[in-house]
Amino acid sequence: MSGVDGLRMIESDSSARRRERKEWTADLLDLEAGRIGVPVLERGAIRDLLTSSPKPRIAIVGASPSPVRPSHGVLVDLLGLGFDVVPVNPSVAEVAGLPCYPSLAEAVTATGPVDIVDVFRLPPACPEHAREAVAAGAKVLWLQLGIASREAGRIAHEGGLAVVMNRCLAVEAARL
C-alpha cells in the first residue's frame, strides 16, 4: 500500500485496470488459440447464418447515436445491407432514426424476437448480456471485434446459443 496525502490506498484504479485488461487480453489470446472453452462459429457457419432466409434479425446492445462510434457505423451498415436491426441502449431514445430500447427484453417485447444479439460492451458486461440473450430466445451471441469473454461464451453455449467472438458483424456481412 502506498500513502497519498496521509491516506493509504489499497490499489490505484490504473493498477486494477491494467490487471483487468490483462484478463481481457488472455481471453482474446485463448480464443485465437482455440482454448476459450466453448465452440465458436467459424467463417463457413457465419456465412450460412448471415445468408439464411429470411435474414436474421439483429439486436445491437450498446448502440450509439454518435456517428463516430463503431456501434453506430455497424448498425447503419447492417441496415444498408438489408438487415432488420433493433438498437438497445438504456441511455438514448433513438439511434440512426430507429427507436432505441433500454434493454433486450424490452426490445423483444416491443418489436418481436431477434436471432443475433450483437454486443458492443466491454468484457465485464458481456456475461449479463449473454443471460439476456438466452432469456430472449436468441440464436446467437455475437461479441464484436476486440471482445472475448469466456464467461459470456459459457453462459450462451449452455443456454443453447451459438457463439461468435472477436468478429465484426458488418465486416462479415459485407463479405457475402
Average pLDDT, the chain: 92
Report whether pLDDT(4) > 70. no
In angstroms, the CA 148 to CA 79 distance is: 25
Angstrom CA distances, 105 to 73, 121, 135, 164, stand at 23, 17, 8, 21
The answer to whether 20 touches 124, Cβ cutoff 8 Å, is: yes
pLDDT digits (tens, 9 = 90+) for 71-116: 999 999 999 999 999 999 999 999 999 999 999 999 999 999 999 9
Angstrom CA distances, 163 to 14, 34, 74, 96, stand at 31, 13, 19, 27
Beta carbons within 10 angstroms of residue 139's beta carbon: 17
Instruction: Tell me the three state secondary structure of residue 144.
Output: coil
pLDDT digits (tens, 9 = 90+) for 38-75: 999 999 999 999 999 999 999 999 999 999 999 999 99
What pTM did the predictor assign?
0.90
Local structure of residue 143 (DSSP, 8 states): E
The percent of residues above 70 in pLDDT, for the chain, comes to 93
pLDDT digits (tens, 9 = 90+) for 112-157: 999 999 999 999 999 999 999 999 999 999 999 999 999 999 999 9
Domain residue spans of the chain:
10-174
In angstroms, the CA 16 to CA 136 distance is: 33
Angstrom CA distances, 2 to 11, 20, 119, stand at 8, 20, 38
Look up the CATH number of domain 10-174: 3.40.50.720
